Chain A
Amino acid sequence: MAEVVFDKASRIYTPGAKPAVDGLDLTVADGDLVVLVGPSGSGKSTALRMLAGLEPIDAGSVRIDGRDVVDVPSKDRDIAMVFQNYALYPSKTVAENMAFPLKMRGMDKEERAQRVRQAADMLGLTEYLDRKPKALSGGQRQRVAMGRAIVREPQVFLMDEPLSNLDAKMRVQTRAQIAEMQNRLAVSTVYVTHDQVEAMTMGDKVAVLADGKLQQYATPPELYDRPINAFVAGFIGSPAMNLLDLPRSSSGVTLGGVEIPLPRDISDAAGSRDKLTVGIRPEDWVLESNDADASSVIKAVVDVVEELGSESYLYAHLAEDTGTTIVVRGPGRVGVRFGDPIAVRPNPEALHVFDAETGQRLP
């Protein structure tokens, strides 16, 4: 049970160069699962490794349960980590792997065996305790790595892309297992992934990182509904939000020759800017009839149709401005094909508007 605090923590690989993690401020509340998400090179893994003690903290501090751990070696931080490749000891059996951290802390054999049995029970590994990692499937190995973390009963779990070596089906299954287990044990967890679906489904809170800097730290719905800048807007959501640089018109912006009015508060915040980045999620387009009045709908031509059964995504380019492409969510049986014309209208309630230069949300 512990609160984890990153306090302006930085990691600078080469002096003078851009920091890999730049003044990270982040508080993980006790018992929460916080996901660090971002593209590769965003510093999310480095931040986790700083917390683990595998990377030095060059500036600022990191506190676990109120204790500054900058100079504390990994083994004394009371953490357990699950690596992407599981890092199971190949020469040891499953039971020995799980018992190893306990053995290193000098726990007696009886208690060790009991804790391993308990964890194995919980993870369905009991019958594999005598096997070597080589004789296990990917999913089983992943569970052994989890088990080794659990038996330590640490203050914090650290997970570095623990699902990325699993196939798609196992990943969904294990994702739910980890979330369920974390809820049950109520141990603070920091979870790193590049997969925004994992981030949205698992995190109590999600921290989006890019270029070593924290972009936004919020709950998943908040991230989705109110992304703080254009980067977060484009990163969270799949397919990604349509982000279009549009010129201002008298009461809004113009897209494909059609004027899109902006809500009052946004247009006030936009002030005298003559260009805005407007974000429209695929589900925030309304498909209209092709005969609709040309001044109120945007005409586009379909390039690709993705039918997912319950819904479909139409990738299209604008008829007026062929360089601009949009993604539109349609019903499951949308009935259009490559080359078909469509007419769409954005839902004015659901527009996200950003400064075209800085990418900051307006207002």
Chain B
Amino acid sequence: MAVTTGTPSDTQETAAPPEPRRQKRSAANVWLGVVAWVVGIAFFFPVLWMVLTSFKQETDAYTPTPKIIFEPTLEQYEGVFAAGVGPYLVNSVIATVFSTLFVLLLGIPAAFAVSLRPVKKTQDVLFFFISTKMLPVVAVIVPIYVVVNQIGMLDNIWTLVVLYTGMNLPIAVWMLRSFFLEVPGELLEQASIDGAPLWRTLREIVLPIISPGIFATALICVIFAWNEFFFAVNLTAANAGTMPVFLVGFITSEGLYWAQLSAAATMAALPVVIAGWVAQNKLVQGLSFGAVK
């Protein structure tokens, strides 16, 4: 999702001449601009079409010649709500928000430790973190299923919260570590001479410096948790299903109703797009951290 929505604005930046306008642009530049636009549109068009379709009547959505001009309606969205998307949305929000909070709560101290207070085995610890991402999820789903079943946590949203926390934690620690490494060591030494206890140093001095990095990390966690499908579809049923699970069920049951399906898909994509849009500035700051200092 993030890729598709990011492309058009990137393309604009490439294609639009910077102000003040340079005297002459070479032919190669113009061609590059055209190619960028074409690629951008090719990526973005299906998504745009999906959003457009979601505002159509079913009859307009399924015509042999695609209709560009049509009377927009919210009927499809009402239909999706009527089909019971509500609890799925709530589940997705719970799973995403809580897992992201837990990741930050556990990941920030961990990243602080491995970056600013390294010990002999820090490298091994870092490798252990990342190694947990090497095993394919499919390979662990059976044991996880058995365990979750045994402790009676199947179809429970907190199961997903725990799994998503575990899933995102290694990535978050690695990401946060790179931001922590940018914090000048002298600042910590100054703080220790000034007599600031560790938690105060962290809260008042280090965290404000790396807040763009924390934002970026949180956004990545939100996106991964929101889009996660495999655990959700295997470990949940009617009670704890999330948006991706709802969407798949919807395709099977309402597969012929393009407009309504588009509305459901748009709803599933929207929160992540909004989160990305809100965090845009912070994100760019976070990802280009080294340049700021």
Spell out A's residues near B (CB within 8 Å): 52-54, 73-76, 79-81, 83-85, 87, 89-92, 100-101, 104-105
Known: A54-B192, A84-B186. 16 other contacts (CB 8 A): A53-B192, A53-B193, A54-B189, A74-B195, A81-B189, A83-B186, A83-B190, A85-B184, A87-B187, A87-B190, A90-B208, A90-B209, A92-B204, A92-B205, A100-B194, A104-B195
In the complex, A76 Cα to B209 Cα: how many Å? 27
Q: Which residues of B contact A87 (CB under 8 A)?
A: 184, 186-187, 189-190
CB-based contact B208/A74 at 8 Å:
no
Sorted from nearest, which 8 A-B pairs have the closest CB atoms?
A: A91-B208, A75-B195, A87-B190, A104-B195, A101-B194, A87-B186, A74-B193, A83-B186
Complex contacts, B193 vs chain A, CB 8 Å: 52-54, 74-75, 79-81, 101
Asked if B189 and A75 sit within 8 Å, CB to CB, the answer is no
Q: B69 to nearest A CB, angstroms?
A: 52
The answer for the CA separation of A280 and B169 in the assembled complex, in Å, is 67
B187 → chain A, closest Cβ, in Å? 5
Known: A85-B184, A87-B186. A75 touches B209 (CB 8 A): no
0/1 interface trace, chain B 179-191, chain A, CB 8 Å (1 if under): 0000010110111
Of B187, B189, B193, B205, the most chain A CB neighbours within 10 A belong to B193
* Contacting pair A91 B190 (CB below 8 A): no
Name A81's closest neighbour in chain B (CB-CB): B193
The reply to whether B186 and A75 form a contact with Cβ atoms under 8 Å apart is: no
User: Helix, strand, loop or mixed for chain A's interface?
Assistant: loop
Encode B187-215 as 1/0 by CB contact (under 8 A) with A. 10111111110001000110011000000
What is the chain A residue whose CB lies nearest that of B207? Answer: A91
Given the known interface contacts A87-B184, A90-B208, the answer about A105 and B195 at a Cβ–Cβ threshold of 8 Å is: yes
The interface residues of chain B lying within 8 Å CB-to-CB of A105 are 195
In Å, the complex CA distance between A193 and B22 comes to: 48
A74 to B196, Cβ gap below 8 A?
no
Least CB distance, B197 to chain A, in whole angstroms = 8
**Inter-chain contacts of A85 with B (CB < 8 A):** 184, 186
By beta carbon, the residue of chain A nearest B187 is A87
The 25 listed contacts between A and B (C-beta, < 8 Å) are A52-B189, A54-B189, A54-B192, A74-B189, A74-B193, A75-B193, A75-B194, A75-B195, A80-B193, A81-B189, A83-B189, A84-B186, A87-B184, A87-B187, A87-B190, A89-B187, A89-B190, A89-B191, A90-B208, A91-B205, A91-B208, A91-B209, A101-B193, A101-B194, A104-B195
Closest-by-CB residue of B relative to A100 is B194
Please state if A100 and B196 are interface contacts (CB–CB under 8 Å). yes
| B interface residues (Cβ-Cβ under 8 A, vs A) | 184, 186-187, 189-196, 200, 204-205, 208-209
The docked-state distance in angstroms from the alpha carbon of A75 to that of B209 is: 23
- When distances are taken between beta carbons in the complex, the residues of chain B under 8 Å from A73 are 192
Determine how close the nearest CB of chain A comes to the CB of B190; give it in whole angstroms. Answer: 4
Q: Would A104 and B194 count as touching, CB distance under 8 A? A: yes
Complex interface: chain A residues within 8 A of B186 (CB):
83-85, 87
In the bound complex, CA of A308 to CA of B186 (Å) = 39
Would you call A89 and B192 a contact (CB within 8 A)?
Answer: no
State A90–B289 Cα separation when bound (angstroms): 14
Please, which residues of chain B bring their CB within 8 A of the CB of A52? 189, 193
A54–B188 CA distance with the chains assembled, in angstroms: 10
**A119 to B187, alpha carbons, bound, how many Å?**
21
B195: chain A residues within 8 A (beta carbon)? 74-76, 101, 104-105
With A75-B194, A104-B194, A105-B195 as contacts: A89 and B189 at CB distance below 8 Å? no
Report the minimum CB–CB distance from A156 to chain B (whole Å): 11
CA distance A101 to B195 in the complex (A): 7
Looking at B189, B194, B196, B205, the one whose CB has the most chain A CB atoms below 10 A away is B194
Residues of A within 8 A of B209 (CB): 90-91
Determine the chain A residues whose CB is within 8 A of the CB of B205 once the complex forms: 89, 91-92
A258 to chain B, nearest CB (A): 54
- Whether B192 and A81, one on each chain, are in contact in the complex, defined by CB atoms closer than 8 angstroms, is no
- Chain B contacts of A84 at CB under 8 A? 186
Which residues of chain B have C-beta atoms less than 8 A from A100's C-beta?
194, 196
Q: Which residue of B lies closest to A101 (CB)?
A: B194
CA distance A238 to B47 in the complex (A): 71
Kindly state the separation between the CA atoms of A74 and B194 in the bound complex, as whole angstroms: 8
| Closest A residue, CB atoms, query B194 | A101
B118, chain A: closest CB distance, angstroms: 15
A152 to chain B, nearest CB (A): 8
For the complex, give the distance between the alpha carbons of A283 and B204 in Å.
55
Cα–Cα distance between A52 and B188 once the two chains are bound (Å): 13
Q: Which of B187, B192, B200, B204 contacts A74 (CB 8 A)?
A: B192
Q: What is the CA–CA distance of A92 and B175 in the complex, to the nearest angstrom? A: 25
B211 to chain A, nearest CB (A): 9
